[in-house]
Amino acid sequence: MRGFFDSDLWWSFTRSRITMASAVVAFICIAGSALAPLLAPHDPFDLASLQLMDAFKPPVWTAEGDATYPLGTDDQGRDVLSAIMYGARVSLMVGFSATIFATLLGVMVGLLAGYLGGTTDAVLMRVADIQLTFPSILVALLVDGIVRAALPREVHDQIALFVVIFAIGISEWPKFARTVRGSTLVERNKEYVLAARVIGLGKLPIMLRHVLPNVLGPVLVIGTLNLALAILAEATLSFLGVGVPPTQPSLGTLIRIGNDFLFSGEWWITIFPGISLIVMVLSVNLLGDWLRDALNPKLR
Amino acid sequence: MRIRLFAAVAALCLSFGAEARTVRWSASGDPNTMDPHSQNVGTVTMVLQQVYDALIQRTRTLGLGPGLATRWEQVEPNRWRFHLREGVRFHEGQAFTSDDVVFSITRAKQPTSNFGIYVDTIESAVAVDPLTVDIITRVPDPILPNKIASVFIMSRGWSEANGAARPQNTRQREELHTTRNTNGTGAFRLSLREPDVRTVLTRNADWWGWREEGTGNVTEIVFRPIASDATRIAALLSGEVDFVMDPPLQDLQRLRAAPGVGVLEGPEVRTIFLAMDVARPELLYSDVRGRNPLADLRVRRALYQAIDIQAIQRVTMRGQSLPTGTLFPEQVNGYVREEDVRLPFDAARARALLAEAGYPNGFEITLDCPNNRYINDEQICQAIASMWTRVGIRTRLNAMPLGPFFAKIQREDTSVYLFGWGVPTLDALYSFQSLLASRAGGQQGDGIWNYGGYSNPAMDALINRMRTETGDARQDAIRQALHIFREDVPLIPLHHQMIPWALRTSITIPHMANNQPYFRWAVVN
Amino acid sequence: MFAFVISRLLQAIPVMLTVSFISFAMFTYVGDPVSIMLGQDATEAERAALVAQLGLDQPFFVQFLKFIGQAVQGQFGLSYRLSRPVAELIAERAPATLELALCAAFIAMAVGVPMGVYTGLYRNSILSRFFLTFSLIGVSLPTFLIGILLILAFAVGLGWLPSFGRGDVVQIGWWSTGFLTVSGLKAMILPAITLGLFQLTLIMRLVRAEMMEVLRTDYIKFARARGLSNRAINFGHALKNTLVPVITIAGLQLGAIIAFAIVTETVFQWPGMGLLFIQSVGSADVPVMAAYLMLIALVFVTINLIVDLLYYAVDPRLRIGKGAH
Amino acid sequence: MTAPLLEVRNLRVEFPTRRGTLTALHDVSLTIQPGEVLGMVGESGAGKSMTGAAIIGLIEPPGRIAGGQVLLGGRRIDNLPYDQMRHVRGRQIGAIFQDPLTTLNPLYTVGRQLVETITTHLPLNPAQARARAIEWLELVGIPAASQRIDSYPHEFSGGMRQRVVIALALCAEPRLIIADEPTTALDVSIQAQVIALLKRLAREKGTAMLLVTHDMGVIAETADRVAVMYAGRIIEIGPVRQIVKHPRHPYTEGLMASIPPLDRRVERLAAIEGSMPRLSAIPPGCAYNPRCPKVFGRCLTERPELLDAGTTQAACWLHADG
């Protein structure tokens, strides 16, 4: 750990106030949403606690605000702040899961392609190329559409969250695969790999031990930027009404619902989730940008 | 020369000023067919009733007035005679005769038609002479004129020539000529149809009705569906659209305040209620095993009394609803004010009733709900779900679009669902027959929308009396049936919908409780 | 040149085959066409008859070939939702999407490239910092939110521009264009900006990164050592080398624009293929989805081919084939 | 002594980094006479290329000239604004870089690159410039120059490309060429040809040259005088013969001992122990002291300036009183 604080990474981190600020914001977002059940002032999923007569309360600082609901309430009397915290939880959960899924898949395919070479490599990379041609949002929509058509509604609703994670994850893996494959190819031809093979060590353990650390940086950068993309993709799908199930509203769902009230003066129902989403994605993007610059000495 | 040119320009301007009276009209949904007998849905009718006429037309007060028939009489208990209007021509030039009426009624009776309920009692239609038609019913049908007012008249020659002798079968995914083309006798003709994009109607100068009192000056109607509420309202406010039929309730305040835009308010003949599976021995979507809680009147009353209808009216509906305790609003023939009384909202009483019925800890249930059919349908369901949960009935909300929703309840694959019922015939029988008559053993059309399986012999007997009796005897049957409705809670009534229309102040159009705009009466300034 | 085009075309074939296979699988196995067409109360005999009529009892490959044969002719059957031939539906809506995508791409390139060049050249100027901040916000703003905000500001607030639809269109053969009417052009502005903004920021960041990369190369240093003017170096040598990779990415971004049109079209009720597609996803209208997928694949393959040809035109290293190094 | 063509006085180049400022060049002073070839040798990172870059004003930011002066023909050029300096580069001072593979713009034909250089500096119209470009290609030994002029760089071999680079550096007829390791990236068999070409052209055109290399053999054959750099400083400078035969600085001695002599066989070459310190960790006193076989007390505390040491100047306390 000391090594980390000594490192260039930490140095460049402390140098950039924006990066530090975005790290703090990202931390607040993650902590706030992870601990939503503990921190949120209300439980938006507890139907019994909702009071319809409390609906459409504006934020606390306006004339009709109510201290019980700092950011106001929505059309059902749900506390907007709590809804955002729970919504961010879903958004982040989907974002992280999809990114981890894409990373694992991509790294695996990349290693395999680079390591096995030949036909396997050609086929895997061709698939990645083809998929890269298609924008991820389209792939995600298609996956969702196919699952929606293939499964009965009730089943689909139950697994909708996983469908979204899968759809977004599957649409992002080729980026990882390409990077990892590139590094694998470079490493494969290095002398120590050849030497290790001569003394009878398996190639795969060597690859794992040497390639993985080498690609960790790029993978981390792609992963971080991808997290932002995944959160946006989820929000977009949910906005289009084909994302997470309505019983687990994400920020995108909240924006879609709030959108109905945007023109009628109840702006807080959509503006606050919107701002939360932007701030969250922006902070992740800033972190990713910084990470890329910090890990890429050429850009310094 | 110059003078002549000037005159020509002036004339052109004048003619424009006099003639270009366009109404740009929008609603959330687009008609899914132009076939007049295929889909009995408001979104289809709202366009087609501009193009097609029926034998009898609705008046501005939703009464019955002459249409393609100038007068009609019940010559025998089972035979109605219609005297047709002379000199009427279809938009494509065919002369209108009794043959077209016979054809149209026969067409509406086809299995692929969705208009069966309007012709259910009809045995046959017979052309007496080119301008007289007899309609023979199987049983005496006192409200036949109310029903026939919903059957549009097509040209036999045109339909048969274009292979559309029977209505388009939407279930079998077929496309007929009538899916996109029309040939009516109405005030407007269809001049452009781009599904989902726009539909343009132009004034039929030859329409027989223009001669009558109080008709308007609209020359062109451009209909564009805009599904997104926000976009639709933005379009109205920015002047791209003149008339929005279904403005979101939350925007009414703002629309009223906006310059040049007004809101026409009025009730709709449509009642929103909750229907329950009262027939199955065990509910499909509940944690109660071995018995059906909803079969117990106490539970139904508990559900009823748990609902704070005033809160829903004030918050969810923003005042745009008329809470009710009965089956239909007062515009409907047979309405009884004394029976229009709600069980009071009383959460404690609801809990007590549940305990009494043997559910001290409540139970779990799934509420099926459409999310794009009635005004704020999903929000109403959310509110009810939370109110029910508060008295111990843990409610899972299952909201879905109209298509899957209807498919689901028509499979009877539901335990509780939100439903709305309009009464196009403006007669009580239509509601009782469709919603509360026993499904088994009844006549055609009985209980076709009774997916909760409610069955009460007393109710069935009263419905049969409504069918045949007239005058006070019939009214008495309706009164008794309404009383049973109130006591037995086969459905939980919520409210009658209000249907505000938003439009530019330069347009006047009568607000109609059947939620149909009649552009023949619209005036554009 | 000819051989190059042929080889690229040959490479496109597996892509199209894969995509048509997915389409075919969707068409055939997802959503059970027999049930959909017959309804639930059909008898076993009726089912069997329809199965035979549709050729579903034939071997897999026969069915697949038939599907491809029909797809090549543009036949995808009837939409479940609208009961109209899918090909007709798509043909009606394609011009709207393509015009929107072209405008958005134009905005993205016409603004994104100069901004990228500027920020690449003057890395530390205040304007560059502003552009960079702008671009970060741009990639962090979801498209739908941009659309909503633009409508709020320019359609509802200021009332300058329409909030939905294409305005008046002019029909030229089967192509309907909004470019020839004032209302059509006005209607184009907000959706095109909405759709172009994200791509604009992407292109700007890409051009900036490439520009910085190129400016570090030896040949730029050498060009400076030769005393060439800044103008010749930045806008001749550097820009041209920057544009080579930018062309590729920008070409692919045109594909992304067509895909992201789905979102924009939803927000602006733009009557294009994207709106059709999203409505089809919502109602599981498989024929439309399958056809859209095929069409998009075709568009992408075409774009890729054009990008390759452009690449070929710009980069002389490709012209003498492989093994030149 | 005639007026020097180039005079560098106390040049100092600094790189601000996150851990403080690094000084890449300290007090570098040298002169080049018209037509003279000054060789510059040293290990990688000693500051040879940096000196060349500083002279033509092409130090990569954030590096900057922090002190000293560069005079060309008596005129100060280190402080010229970009647009005036531009007319010095190419026209007055040409430059040749190490790797011909990367110094040519791959997207332009060599002809276009030549023509644009010529028209930038000489009052010729495009047609004349093209003719001149062909002449130059012929001059640097490109066969069939009038056809190859429309070829792209990748269509030439490495050696041919470096010839094109030389043509580019010389085509505006500068008075000085800075050749930064012009042969390092080339095959050994081609190195000699390229050096010979460079030498011949410099002589024919009367061009002076700063030849940066780490190859003492090339220096011995080509240079008139030699400057030896170590850790950002010139530690010895003098006529080539003296430096090669009688180096005065221990580092130069070590450097010379590592050249394989052509005339006799040796058992093993002497190599200098250790490596040059990083710029951020230069020891006090003489920078060479950790490696110097002749180190003594004063070397550890005081840094020697260039001192006259016979026919050369050397920065070494051994010559403190010489």
- What range defines the domain where residue A225 resides? 2-299
pLDDT at C41: 45
Q: How many CB pairs under 8 A join A and C?
A: 105
- CA–CA distance, C232 with C210 (Å, rounded to integer): 17
Lowest mean pLDDT among A42-51, B10-19, B423-432: B10-19
pLDDT at A181: 84
CATH, residue A184: 1.10.3720.10
Residues of C in contact with D103 (CB under 8 A): 218-219, 221-222
Question: Looking at the complex, does the CB of residue C27 fall below 8 Å from at least one CB of chain B?
Answer: no
More confident residue, C203 or A263: C203
Q: Which of B167-176, B373-382, D303-312 ranks highest by mean pLDDT?
A: B373-382
More confident residue, D143 or A199: D143
Name residues 145-164 of chain C within 8 A of A (Cβ). Answer: 145, 148, 152, 156
pTM of the prediction?
A: 0.77
Mean pLDDT for chain C? 78
Question: Taking residues B236-241, what's their average pLDDT?
Answer: 84
Q: How far is C143 from chain D (nearest CA, A)?
A: 37
What is the total residue count of chain D? Answer: 322
The string of pLDDT tens digits covering residues B366-395 is: 999 988 788 889 899 999 999 999 999 999
Question: Looking at the complex, does the CB of residue C314 fall below 8 Å from at least one CB of chain A?
Answer: no
Question: Taking residues A66-78, what's their average pLDDT?
Answer: 83
pLDDT band with cut points at 50, 70 and 90 for residue D322: very low
C137:A282 CB<8 A: yes
Q: Is position C222 within any domain?
A: yes
pLDDT at B442: 62
H or E element at residue B4? helix B2-19
Q: Is position B153 within any domain?
A: yes
Q: How far is C249 from chain A (nearest CA, A)?
A: 10
By C-alpha distance, the chain B residue nearest C39 is: B171
pLDDT at C238: 85
Question: Taking residues C255-281, what's their average pLDDT?
Answer: 83
- What range defines the domain where residue B312 resides? 270-498
Q: How far is A12 from chain D (nearest CA, A)?
A: 9
- CA–CA distance, C182 with C175 (Å, rounded to integer): 18
Q: How many CB pairs under 8 A join A and B?
A: 61
Residues of C in contact with B195 (CB under 8 A): 82, 84, 89
pLDDT band with cut points at 50, 70 and 90 for residue A238: confident
Q: Which of B334-343, C92-101, D108-117 ranks highest by mean pLDDT?
A: B334-343
CA nearest C278: which of C38, C81, C21, C8?
C81
Q: How far is A130 from chain C (nearest CA, A)?
A: 6
Question: Looking at the complex, does the CB of residue A21 fall below 8 Å from at least one CB of chain C?
Answer: no
- CA–CA distance, B387 with B382 (Å, rounded to integer): 9
Kindly tell me if the per-residue pLDDT of B436 is higher than 90: yes
Name residues 199-238 of chain D within 8 A of C (Cβ). Answer: none
Q: Are residues B276 and B214 in the same domain?
A: no
Q: Is position C102 within any domain?
A: yes
Residues of D in contact with A15 (CB under 8 A): 18
Disruptive mutation site among B38, B178, B197 for chain C (greatest number of C CBs within 10 Å): B197
A134:C300 CB<8 A: yes
Question: Taking residues A25-34, what's their average pLDDT?
Answer: 86
Kindly tell me if the per-residue pLDDT of D197 is higher than 80: yes
Q: How far is CA D295 from the centre of its chain?
A: 29
Candidates 3.30.300.30, 3.40.640.10, 3.40.228.10, 3.40.50.300; CATH matching D6-237: 3.40.50.300
Which two structure tokens, joined as six digits, stand for D230? 């170590």
Q: Are residues C46 and C126 in the same domain?
A: no
Q: Please enumerate in sequence order all residues whose Cβ is within 8 A of that of D85, keeping only pairs 6 or more positions apart, or say none.
A: D57, D77
The string of pLDDT tens digits covering residues B481-494 is: 999 999 999 999 99
Residues of D in contact with C222 (CB under 8 A): 95, 97, 103-104, 165, 168
By C-alpha distance, the chain A residue nearest B249 is: A264
By C-alpha distance, the chain C residue nearest A138 is: C259
Kindly tell me if the per-residue pLDDT of B12 is higher than 50: no
The string of pLDDT tens digits covering residues C121-178 is: 887 788 888 888 888 888 888 888 888 888 878 877 787 887 777 877 787 877 888 7
* Phi, psi angles (nearest 5°) of residue B46: -60, -30
More confident residue, A131 or D135: D135
pLDDT at C319: 60
Kindly tell me if the per-residue pLDDT of B8 is higher than 70: no
Q: Confirm if A233 and A140 have CB atoms less than 8 A apart.
A: yes
Q: Are residues C138 and C38 in the same domain?
A: no
Q: Are residues B130 and B180 in the same domain?
A: yes
Question: Taking residues D266-278, what's their average pLDDT?
Answer: 67
Q: How far is A244 from chain B (nearest CA, A)?
A: 14
Q: Are residues B216 and B276 in the same domain?
A: no
Q: How far is B507 from chain A (nearest CA, A)?
A: 23
Q: Are residues B275 and B418 in the same domain?
A: yes
Lowest mean pLDDT among B351-360, B502-511, C286-295: C286-295
- The amino acid that residue B65 corresponds to is G
B315:A264 CB<8 A: no
More confident residue, B389 or C92: B389
pLDDT band with cut points at 50, 70 and 90 for residue B170: low
Question: Looking at the complex, does the CB of residue C300 fall below 8 Å from at least one CB of chain A?
Answer: yes
Q: How far is A155 from chain C (nearest CA, A)?
A: 14
Kindly tell me if the per-residue pLDDT of B212 is higher than 90: no
| Chains contacting chain A through 3 or more C-beta pairs under 8 A | B, C, D
* Phi, psi angles (nearest 5°) of residue B263: -120, 125
Give the one of C38, C163, C283 whose C-beta lies nearest to B238's C-beta.
Answer: C163
Q: How many CB pairs under 8 A join A and D?
A: 3
Residues of A in contact with B385 (CB under 8 A): 47
Kindly tell me if the per-residue pLDDT of B172 is higher than 80: no
Q: How far is A179 from chain D (nearest CA, A)?
A: 25
Question: Looking at the complex, does the CB of residue A282 fall below 8 Å from at least one CB of chain C?
Answer: yes
Which two structure tokens, joined as six digits, stand for A183? 């590094």
Lowest mean pLDDT among A240-249, B215-224, B225-234: A240-249
Residues of D in contact with C219 (CB under 8 A): 102-106
Q: How far is CA C196 from the centre of its chain?
A: 11
- CA–CA distance, C42 with C32 (Å, rounded to integer): 14
Disruptive mutation site among C220, C226, C233, C247 for chain D (greatest number of D CBs within 10 Å): C226
Kindly tell me if the per-residue pLDDT of A5 is higher than 60: no
Residue D48 CA neighbour count, 13 Å, CB half: 27
Q: How far is A6 from chain D (nearest CA, A)?
A: 12
Q: Are residues B408 and B302 in the same domain?
A: yes
Total tally of structural domains belonging to chain A: 1
Residues of A in contact with B395 (CB under 8 A): 47
CA distances in angstroms from C203 to C106, C112, C196, listed in the order given? 12, 5, 10
Other Cβ atoms less than 10 A from the Cβ of C61: the count is: 8
Which two structure tokens, joined as six digits, stand for C201? 């920021």
Q: What is the ipTM of this complex?
A: 0.73
pLDDT at B308: 94
Percent pLDDT > 70 in chain C is 85
pLDDT band with cut points at 50, 70 and 90 for residue A246: confident
Q: Is position B242 within any domain?
A: no
Lowest mean pLDDT among B77-81, B246-250, B350-354, D18-22: D18-22
pLDDT at B129: 93
- CA–CA distance, D201 with C48 (Å, rounded to integer): 91
C228:D99 CB<8 A: no
- What range defines the domain where residue C56 resides? 20-72
Give the one of C219, C226, C324 whose C-beta lies nearest to D90's C-beta.
Answer: C226
Q: Is position B110 within any domain?
A: yes
- On the 0-12 / 13-18 / 19+ scale of CB atoms within 10 A, A51 is middle
Q: Is position C287 within any domain?
A: no
Q: Is position B264 within any domain?
A: no
Beta-strand runs (E) in chain D: 6-17, 20-32, 37-41, 64-72, 75-76, 93-96, 176-180, 208-212, 225-230, 233-239, 307-309, 312-314
pLDDT at B342: 94
pLDDT at C324: 35
Give the one of C37, C276, C279 whose C-beta lies nearest to B173's C-beta.
Answer: C37
pLDDT at C284: 65
Question: Looking at the complex, does the CB of residue B320 fall below 8 Å from at least one CB of chain A?
Answer: no
| Chains contacting chain B through 3 or more C-beta pairs under 8 A | A, C
Show which residues on chain B lie within 8 Å of chain C, measured between beta carbons.
32-33, 168, 170-175, 179-180, 194-197, 224, 226-228, 230-232, 234-235, 237-240, 401, 403
Q: Which of A128-142, B498-512, C68-82 ranks highest by mean pLDDT?
A: B498-512
A52:B311 CB<8 A: yes
Total tally of structural domains belonging to chain C: 2
Total tally of structural domains belonging to chain B: 2
- On the 0-12 / 13-18 / 19+ scale of CB atoms within 10 A, A137 is buried
Q: Are residues B431 and B510 in the same domain?
A: no
Kindly tell me if the per-residue pLDDT of A300 is higher than 50: no
Mean pLDDT for chain B? 88
By C-alpha distance, the chain C residue nearest A128 is: C15
Residues of C in contact with D104 (CB under 8 A): 219, 222
Question: Looking at the complex, does the CB of residue C325 fall below 8 Å from at least one CB of chain D?
Answer: yes
pLDDT at A253: 87
pLDDT at B391: 93
Kindly tell me if the per-residue pLDDT of D244 is higher than 90: no
C164:B173 CB<8 A: no
